[in-house]
Amino acid sequence: MNKKERAAEIFDRLSKRYPSPKPALSYSNPWELLVATALSAQCTDERVNKVTPVFFERWPEISDAAEADVTEIEEVVRSTGFFRNKAKNIKAAAQRIMSEYGGEVPKTMAELTTLGGVARKTASIVLSNAFGVNEGIAVDTHVKRLAFRMGLTDKTDPIRVEKDLMPLFPHDQWGDVNHSLVFFGREICPARKPKCDICELADICPKKGVE
């Protein structure tokens, strides 16, 4: 079984487990998803979902965040970790959206990645889930780990992992690939002690790096 065949089988099996995968982050529009995704770095989705309602009650519109006192944003997002950088980036992103994009979250990878703190991973998540546009595969710690373990890449840099993954999956699957691998990584294939004995991919997984 070559990489493309294994990727197809992995996606087929995970699609049965997760038939309609959606982000675990709570949001109701592209800006809310962008903020939630930015806050989720090095933080659990559960924690982020407790913080974002407070954030959006305080600053309901992009224009409100653009004009907010960054120290006040820091206090609201403090529990998500790295709060100073996150607060600075959220405010900067809001300001750029207001000044350069007419107050609307842009809909392309090139534009999104000009926003404060927005790299390809965040941009891919926003594009796929808020706009139905697949320009990339979001590679977080779970996707990176599983792609390596399953022999779909031998890289560790997220950008290079993404480049290896994109040709292996049909374009319209890219968003679901991210969600499925993230959920599976949390439930079955964590960094330590993967549950290979109950894994529905065990027979096709080379288990690279698993002790």
Question: For the domain that residue 115 is a member of, what is the CATH number?
Answer: 1.10.340.30
Specify if 210 maps to a domain.
Answer: no
Phi, psi values for residue 146, rounded to 5°: -70, -40
Final residue in a domain of this structure, among 131, 159, 184: 131
Catalytic status, residue 121: yes
| Structural domain count of the chain | 2
Q: Are residues 42 and 100 in the same domain?
A: yes
- For residue 193, is pLDDT > 80? yes
For 68-87, write each residue's pLDDT tens digit. Answer: 999 999 999 999 999 999 99
Question: In the numeric block, which tokens belong to residue 138?
Answer: 């979001």
Percent of the chain with pLDDT over 70: 100
Q: Are residues 51 and 142 in the same domain?
A: no
CATH number at residue 189: 1.10.1670.10
DSSP characters over 25-72: S--SSHHHHHHHHHHTTTS-HHHHHHHHHHHHHHS-SHHHHHHS-HHH
Residue 158's pLDDT band (cuts 50, 70, 90): very high
Q: Are residues 34 and 124 in the same domain?
A: yes
Give the range of the structural domain holding residue 17, as residue numbers without chain letter: 3-22+137-198
What pLDDT is attached to residue 6? 97
Question: In the numeric block, which tokens belong to residue 200?
Answer: 């529905």
- For residue 170, is pLDDT > 90? yes
Mean pLDDT to the nearest integer, 129-136: 96
The total of other beta-carbon atoms located within 10 Å of residue 87's CB is 26
- Catalytic residue of the set 4, 91, 107, 140: 140
Mean pLDDT to the nearest integer, 134-147: 96
- Distance of alpha carbon 141 from alpha carbon 156, whole angstroms: 10
Residue 211's pLDDT band (cuts 50, 70, 90): confident
Q: Are residues 38 and 118 in the same domain?
A: yes
Q: Are residues 127 and 158 in the same domain?
A: no
- For residue 146, is pLDDT > 90? yes
Residue 195's pLDDT band (cuts 50, 70, 90): very high
Specify if 203 maps to a domain.
Answer: no
Q: Which residues contact 7 (CB under 8 A, 6 or more apart)?
A: 152, 165, 168, 169
Q: Taking the model in full, what pTM does it have?
A: 0.93
* Contact of 90 with 73, CB cutoff 8 Å: yes
Q: Are residues 127 and 142 in the same domain?
A: no
- Catalytic residue of the set 86, 91, 121, 144: 121
Percent of the chain with pLDDT over 90: 97
Helix (H) or strand (E) holding 161: helix 158-165
Mean pLDDT to the nearest integer, 49-61: 98
* Contact of 164 with 152, CB cutoff 8 Å: yes
Q: Are residues 54 and 118 in the same domain?
A: yes
CA distances from 115 to 75, 97, 110 (A): 22, 8, 10
- Distance of alpha carbon 150 from alpha carbon 205, whole angstroms: 5
Q: At what angle do helices 83-100 and 30-39 cross, to 10 degrees?
A: 150
SS3 167: helix
